[in-house]
Structure 1
Amino acid sequence: MSSWDRPQDVVEKALAASTADGQVAFVVESSAANLRWASNSLTTNGSMRSRQVVVVSFVDGGAGMAAGTVARTGSPDVGELVAASEQAARDAGPAEDAVPLVTETPPGAGDWDADPAGTSIGVFRDFAPALGEAFGGARDHGELLFGFAEHGMATTYLGTSTGLRLRHDQPSGRVELNGKSGDMSRSVWAGVGTRDFADVSVADLVGDVQRRLGWSQRRIDLPAGRYETLLPPSAVSDLMIYAHWTMEARDADEGRNVYARPGGGNRIGERLSALPLTLRSDPFEPGLEACPFQVVSGSSGAASVFDNGMATPAVEWISGGVLANLIRPRAWALKTTAPATATVDNLVLEQPGATESLEEMVAATDRGLLLTTLWYIREVDPQTLLLTGLTRDGVFLVEGGEVSGAVNNFRFNESPVDLLGRITQAGRTERTLPREWSDWFTRAAMPAVRVPDFNMSSVSPAS
């Protein structure tokens, strides 16, 4: 096979070569560009292109339908790839998530015949000069800037033996900027997610960094304990994303996660938040657009290879503070007579009518902590979704409505689900970059929130 074969042609060749009872084939054509800098100087820049080819074959061996997936990068021999996936299916036992393949074309299926979208280093044409100016400003202030900017474009072509031909372009981008004092004793962070870099303001990012470095000039040591805490949108997103990732209906129905109801069943219909908070996903959310159909290479509690091509409409996971939906592939939906729901690659938390900015929330704080980001988040207990992690790059003490200085870092222990019930104020929702999960998840919009008793379980030496 020539490396010049169009992605659509690769999919069609795979489908034509199939001798199985069913097949899903998809090709993801990706391009990426990046800039990296350290100590007020650009260090590297580059671009890359890649291709992934995935074939999922379905074989009924008499005891039930089995599935086998094989994936390759570059330009593999399609015939060999199909044969390998069919052999994998024959070697596998009957799939417990087996259902008929999807036949209905979802909304937003895209133009199958169009060429793949792409990106290049040119996406930084306005960003790079502004970054150069920021380097000069940082030198004038005796400060150092470190960080990176990345932009990617992935075009997916998905075809099935049931006749689906679906295409989606997914742009994604992020900027992470660290500012440090000249002696490296103080460190702060600012970041943003973007689709095309047209909405990225280097001046705003640098302004955030300089303001936090200014706050950090005074150091205040505090002990572990429970503190009134303001979490900015980035920190909120890292917690809510984990709460969303674990929303598997089967685990809840079988008593294995925080959404399980004591005594059996799940907690759908239960109030999780006193505030009317809504946690939702929508593939057509402006600025956070994501794939409107399922693209799945392997089955799990949150997704099924049999659901490839299934529409992923807007869904409210928590509605007005009440748990409304869990992630439920079609097979589990049929077993439980509940509606099938699928993950969407974005997440929004909002409270209707909330307009306060983080700055206004700080001004209304008598005494409390203001965080910047969280990192090294790990699960401690799935039954309560207790998480542990560290604060990073700026914890500040607020006194009398103003930031009075920087505080040492902490280890925290909190459950995002329990936290929902203790939030006393949520600000306006704005696009944010999850710092901990930004390698996998960049499309989020969250408010800053106030928690009266956030658990800082121990002091951390992390900077």
Structure 2
Amino acid sequence: MSAETVEQVAARVLASAKAAAKDAEIRVDVRRTGAANVRFAKNEVTTSGEYDELALSVWIGLGKRAAWASTNQSDPRSVAALVDRALAMARLSPEDPETMPLLSPQTYGTSAAYDDRLAAMTPAERAAIAGRAIAAGDAAKVQIAGFLQRRVTDHAIASSTGLAARHRETSATYTVTARTLDASGSGWAGREIHRATDLDDASLARVAIDKAARSASAKPIPPGKYTVILEPQAVAELLMFLPDAMNLRSVDEGRSYFTGKTSEKVFADFVRLESDPTSPLTPGSPFDAEGMALAPQTWIESGRAKDLFVSRFWAQQKGGGVKPTGHHTIHRLSGGSAASLDDIVKDTKRGLLVTRFWYNRMLEPQTVMVTGLTRDGLFLVEDGKITAPLTNFRYNESPITMLRNVDAMTKSTVRVPVWGGTWHVPALRTNEFTMASPSAAV
């Protein structure tokens, strides 16, 4: 891979595109990703690997006609072909009335999302993490599997309007699953981190093994509405469906749950949902895919939807001082006062403790109704104690209902591995949660 920085690549490609398309608006996006992983299953390492890749894209706008073209090559010949392809597609594209002009130069906040130690994680260190989990599984006489991946991302944007942005970050995802030898019990634990010191891999392995042992030989209980204690992973897997509903355009066009409800209390008073990539608690890119600087946003406060996502186009359509929010992908749910998950369990008369959800899918966007399955540890809580493992359920529930009926939440939050953005969430207890039908899987 070229020794050029992503900023240098972006500047060179922009110059080439300007020469070929003198009257066009041009945005260049360069992302270099280095990833390294180790995978283990049935108590032995199965694969280990590393890769480095370059993703290079050029956007060309000709008035309301625009097109993207992408490649993974940055040599001059490939860049020239990339620019020619983007320009040809832009000329052929129909006019899009929602195409927006490129942004002018922005001022970005500082983000502490890069960790030298995590970036330098070696194959031996990854192997040691896998080895500790395998040794713990062997000692407990369970089958153990897991996946650790470390990523280093270097991202730059440059445009014909003078915008220039760069962001570097590190992250790692570690998940562990343990199964009893008779396959009647399963446990899981996982975290996502941006600093090497935040990964307590031994603790995660212990949690997965303990859940596997405690969930063996589960008993069924009837479907119905239950008080549930959701561990952070379960919270995020349901909550990640909420941001799409908190969109001003969807609200204005009558396609959102929040249509006609933006002034109503629809959540518990203490719930707070916010995004701030410059916060040391939730570091991330200080700009979005268009290069727009991301200001802190509070989406939920005092029981109401305080802010809604606003695109640049919709802000222009609305006028009247409505400002675009930028596309935030990092979210933090907070507002709780409980010291720990154990304290919530001890304070629960009767309920279900949920480790995580799986195979989650949207059922009805208008109500943000989601369906999925409990997995890897579902337990009955009675009089403040975990009393029995339970067979799994299919749930049908909305994150809005979850946050309306919540009555306890841990003060601390953790970053968990989910596909729908980056989520920092607490554990919480909520009521009237719909467990719709039994699920036979462990």
Common topology (TM > 0.5): yes
CA–CA separation in structure 2 for the residues paired with 1:13 and 1:131? 42
Is this contact kept in 1: 2:185–2:214, CA < 8 A?
no
Match of residue 51 from structure 1:
54
Residues 1:108 and 2:81 aligned together: no
Tell me the CA shift for residue 186 of structure 1. 1.1
In 2 relative to 1, CA 255–123 (structure 1 residues): closer, same or farther, beyond 3 Å? farther
Tell me the CA shift for residue 122 of structure 1. 3.0
Is this contact kept in 2: 1:292–1:311, CA < 8 A?
yes
SS in 2 for 1:236: helix
CA–CA separation in structure 2 for the residues paired with 1:290 and 1:6? 20
Worse overlay, 332-341 or 73-82: 73-82
Q: After the TM superposition, which residues 417-432 of structure 1 pair with which residues of structure 2 at under 5 Å, given as runs?
A: 417-432=400-415
In 2 relative to 1, CA 8–452 (structure 1 residues): closer, same or farther, beyond 3 Å? closer
Is this contact kept in 2: 1:388–1:414, CA < 8 A?
yes
CA–CA separation in structure 1 for the residues paired with 2:218 and 2:245? 38
Q: After the TM superposition, which residues 160-239 of structure 1 pair with which residues of structure 2 at under 5 Å, given as runs?
A: 160-239=159-238
Post-superposition CA distance 1:269-314 (Å, at most 9, x none)? 332213321101111122531111121xxxxxxxxxxxx2211111
Tell me the CA shift for residue 130 of structure 1. 4.5
Q: RMSD across aligned C-alpha pairs, in angstroms?
A: 2.2
Match of residue 339 from structure 2:
356
Tell me the CA shift for residue 237 of structure 1. 1.1
CA–CA separation in structure 2 for the residues paired with 1:145 and 1:168? 36
Match of residue 389 from structure 2:
406
Match of residue 433 from structure 2:
454
Is this contact kept in 1: 2:100–2:313, CA < 8 A?
yes
CA–CA separation in structure 2 for the residues paired with 1:152 and 1:4? 19
The match for 1:342 among 326, 334, 353 is 326
In 2 relative to 1, CA 130–102 (structure 1 residues): closer, same or farther, beyond 3 Å? closer
TM-score, with structure 1 as normaliser? 0.87
Aligned residues: 430
SS in 1 for 2:208: helix
What residue identity is the alignment partner of 1:35? V
Residues 1:90 and 2:91 aligned together: yes
CA–CA separation in structure 2 for the residues paired with 1:220 and 1:311? 52
Tell me the CA shift for residue 98 of structure 1. 3.1
Is this contact kept in 2: 1:195–1:287, CA < 8 A?
no
Match of residue 304 from structure 1:
none
Between the aligned residues of both structures, percent identity stands at 29
Match of residue 37 from structure 2:
34
Match of residue 320 from structure 1:
302
In 2 relative to 1, CA 260–211 (structure 1 residues): closer, same or farther, beyond 3 Å? same
Tell me the CA shift for residue 444 of structure 1. 1.9
Tell me the CA shift for residue 96 of structure 1. 2.4
SS in 1 for 2:198: coil
Worse overlay, 207-216 or 364-373: 207-216
CA–CA separation in structure 1 for the residues paired with 2:105 and 2:13? 21
Post-superposition CA distance 1:210-233 (Å, at most 9, x none)? 332332245221121111111111
CA–CA separation in structure 2 for the residues paired with 1:84 and 1:118? 40
Tell me the CA shift for residue 119 of structure 1. 7.2
The match for 1:379 among 354, 362, 365 is 362
CA–CA separation in structure 2 for the residues paired with 1:74 and 1:223? 57
TM-score, with structure 2 as normaliser? 0.91
Provide structure 1 residue ranges, at least 5 long, that are not aligned to the other structure.
111-116, 262-266, 296-307
Is this contact kept in 2: 1:13–1:78, CA < 8 A?
no
Is this contact kept in 2: 1:432–1:446, CA < 8 A?
yes
CA–CA separation in structure 2 for the residues paired with 1:15 and 1:180? 53
Match of residue 154 from structure 1:
153
Provide structure 2 residue ranges, at least 5 long, that are not aligned to the other structure.
none
What residue identity is the alignment partner of 1:9? Q
